[in-house]
Chains A and B, each alone.
Chain A
Amino acid sequence: MINLKKAAALGLAAAMSLSLLVGCGSGSGSTGGSASTEGGSESTTATKHHKIGVGLYTDSGKSVEAIKAYLAGISDTVDCEFVYTTLSTYDEATNLTEVQNLISSGCEGLILTADMGTTSIIEECQAAGVYVAGFLCDYNQSMFTAHEQVFENEYFLGTVCDGWADASPYADMVAEQVIENGYKSVGIVIFPDYAYPNQTEVAKEFTAKIEEYNETAEEKIEVKEPTVLNFAPIDATYFSENSDIDCLFSVAAGASFVYPQMVAAGRTDIALYTTGFEATEDVENFGSSGNGCYKGTMCSAPEAIAYPLCLLIDKLNGTVYSDLPEAERVDCQPIIILSDEDMAKVKENSLYYSADYADALITGEDIVNMCASYNPDATYANLVESLQHLGVDAL
C-alpha cells in the first residue's frame, strides 16, 4: 500500500513536472524570420535575429509585467528573442550563475538590471563573447569602484538609469509640493548610503530646499533626520515616535516598505511622497482617491530598455553609431506623478500601467530606426534624446 502511494506520488510529480516543462518550454519558442513589417505597412527592414537575455531585479510586479509586455510587443519587429531570468540585488554568485545560464542557453547579448558581481560577470561575458548593457540601474558601484573592469571593458556597452542618476530635481519638486500644501513636519526615509548613495543626496537636496524656504518663512517646516531602512519595512514605532509628522518623503520604495506600516499604525492621514510605482494601492489611494495618502511618486518607463537594446543589436550586427562615445550611463525622463491629472494620464495612456504594447511611446519600428545597423542615419544622440520623452508630458 505504501509502495503504491509512493509510486503514485512519483507518477504525479513526474507528470506535473513534465507538463510544466513542456508547457513552459514551448512558450518561449524561438521566433523565426529575418525581416519585419510594422503596422501593416509595406516597408520592411532586413533584420538579423538575436537572442537577448534579460536579467530583471525581481520576477513579479507591475514593472516586470510591463517590461515583458513591451519586449513581447517589439520582439517580431526587432527580430529578437528575449529570455528572462531574475537577478539578485545582494548576491554576486547568484547573478554570475544566472548570467552563465543565459549564455549557455544561447544568448548573444544581455540586458541586466542589477550591479552585483558585475566584474566577474563582465569577465565571463568577455570570455564567451557576449555583450552586456544595463537598464534601470545606475551601475554606481561599478562606476566608482570598478570603472576600468566594467565601463572600460569593450563588452560593457553602457547603461540607462532608473530615471535620473541624480534625482535631485525630484527632491525639489517634492519640496515645492510640501511648501505649497502647507505641511509642517516632514519625515524622510532612505535606503542605506552604501547601497543607494543617491538617495542620501536626494534627502540632502530636499532638506536644503526646505531650509531655504524656512529662511524667509513665518511658519517654518520641520524636517526630521532621515531614517535609514535596512531593506526591511519601516519600524512600527516610527509613527508613534514621530507622531507630529504630517508628511513623509520616502525616497526608499514607499509602497512596499512604508505604506503598509502606515496603514497598520492608522496613519494614512500622513501625506506620502515616494519613488517606485506598484500600480495597486498607490493608485487606489492617490490624491483624491481612496484615503488620499499617496501624493506623489516617480518611476521609469519600460520603453527605456530601447537604449541597451539598440546598443546590443548594433554591436551584434557589427555596426556602431558614428557618434558613439565610450560606455556611459545615461538618464531617462522618469514618469513623475504629482497630481490627479498626472495619475489619470498614466492610467489611461502609459504602457507601465496598462502593460499593453499599443501604449508604447517607443515602438519596435522606432527601435529598428534607431539602430545604426538598420538605419545608416541613426545616431547615438538621437537614441539618448528619445529617452528624454518618456515622462508624463509625453503620455
Chain B
Amino acid sequence: MLKKFNKEWASSHASDLLSYGGLVLCIIVFAILSGGNLFSPYNLRILIQAVCVYAVLSLGAMFVYSMGYMDISVSAQVGVYSILCILIANSTGSILLAFLVILALALVCGFINGYVAVMLGLPSIVTSIFLMSIFGGVQALIMEKLALNSVSINVDISFFKNTGFMVAMIIVVAIIAIYLYKYTPLGEITKSIGANERATEYSGISTTKWKVLAYAFFGVTVALGAFLLTARTGAAGKGTGMGYAMDIMVALLLGGMPLSGGMKSKISSALIGSFTYVILSNGLILSGVDTKMVYIIKAIVFIAVILITCRKKDGVLPR
C-alpha cells in the first residue's frame, strides 16, 4: 500500500499536493495565529460569502483557462451586470427579469470572445480587451448619467444573500462544472486545445464550437457571480467588480491550475484556489497583519506558486 505513495507518485501529484497542502497549511497557520477566530461561526459565514463569488466565477473560468486563454473583461462585465441588475430590478420589480437580461448579455459576450475572435483571426485576449474597454466605459457612463456614486437595489433580495443560498449556489455550479468538465467532451477538448490547439484541430474537432461553448459557460457563471455580488452588497457603482479578473487568475493558480492550460488542468483548482485565496486574505487580517503587509505576503505566495508550478525548463509561465 505504502509503495503506491512513492517518489514517482509524489512527483506526478506534486501540483495536487501543493494546492491541497497550501489550503491545509493556510487553515492550520491561520487557525493558530487568529487564536481560533478563523473557525468562529461569524467568520465561517463571511468566508462562505466571500468565497461564493470567486468560486462561481473560477468554476466558469476553468474552461477558458484550460484552453490557455484568459478573459480580462470579467471585472468590467461584473460591474456593468451588477448595475444593470439593480436598475432593471428597481424599475420592473422583477429580479428574475434582471437576471435573465444580464445572463443574455453575458452569453453574447461569451459568443464574441469565442466566435468573433476566431472569425476575425484574433487571439481571444484581444476581444476580451475590447470588451473590457467597452464595459468599463459603459459602467462609467451609466454612473455618470445616474449622477450617483453608487446605486442601491430597492427590491428585497435578502433570500439571495442568505449563506445557505450561497452554499447551495457553490454546490450546484460545482456539480454542473464537474459534470461538464469530466463527463462531457467539453472538458477534454478545452484541455486538448490548451495542450495543442493545432493538433486538436487536425484531429477533426471543431475548436471554434468548443471555444464558444467554453466561453458561454463562463458567461453564465459571470452573470451568476455578478448577481450574487449584487445580492451580497445590495449596491453597485463605478468600481464594482474591479479586480475580479486578476483575483480569479490568482485563485486558479493557488489551486494548482497551469496558467497556460492543457491536460494538467483540474476542475478542483477552482474550488481549492478560491478557498485558499479567501482564507489567505481573511486569515492575514484576523492575525493582525498590517494591510500593507497583506499585499506583500500575497505577492510572495503568488510568486512562490508560480515558481513551484513552473514545469517549463526554459519558460516562466507554468503549463
Query: Which residues on A are within 8 Å of B, measured CB to CB?
Result: 2, 5-6, 9-10, 12-14, 16-18, 20-21, 24-25, 27-29, 59-60, 83-86, 88-94, 96-97, 100-106, 116-117, 119-120, 123, 128, 141, 145-146, 192-195, 230
Contact = CB atoms under 8 A, between A and B. Distances in A.
B197 to A, nearest CB: 27
Given A13-B304, A128-B42, A120 B291 contact: no
Interface of B: 29, 33-34, 37, 40, 42-43, 46, 49-50, 53, 140, 143-144, 146-150, 152, 229, 232-240, 242, 281-282, 284-293, 296-297, 300-301, 303-304, 307-308, 310, 313
A20 B282 contact: no
Nearest to A83: B288
Given A6-B308, A90-B149, A96 B286 contact: no
Contacts of A105: 34, 37, 285-286, 288
A28 B288 CA distance: 6
B308 A9 contact: yes
10 pairs of A and B residues whose beta carbons are closest in the complex: A90-B239, A13-B304, A91-B239, A28-B288, A100-B46, A9-B307, A92-B233, A24-B289, A194-B147, A101-B285
B149 A194 contact: yes
B290 A106 contact: no
B235 A120 contact: yes
Contacts of B46: 97, 100-101, 103-104
Contact of B152 (A20, A59, A119, A194): A119
Nearest to A228: B144
Given A90-B237, A97-B50, A101-B46, A116 B140 contact: no
A104 B286 contact: yes
A105 B149 CA distance: 29
Contacts of B143: 194
Contacts of A29: 288
A194 B301 CA distance: 39
Contacts of A24: 287-290, 293
A21 B300 contact: no
B235 A195 contact: no
A192 to B, nearest CB: 7
Given A28-B290, A83-B288, A230-B140, A91 B308 contact: no
A20 B284 CA distance: 10
B1 to A, nearest CB: 25
A92 B29 CA distance: 29
Contacts of A146: 152
Contacts of A86: 291
Contacts of A10: 304, 307-308
Contacts of A18: 29
A120 B49 CA distance: 13
Contacts of B37: 104-106
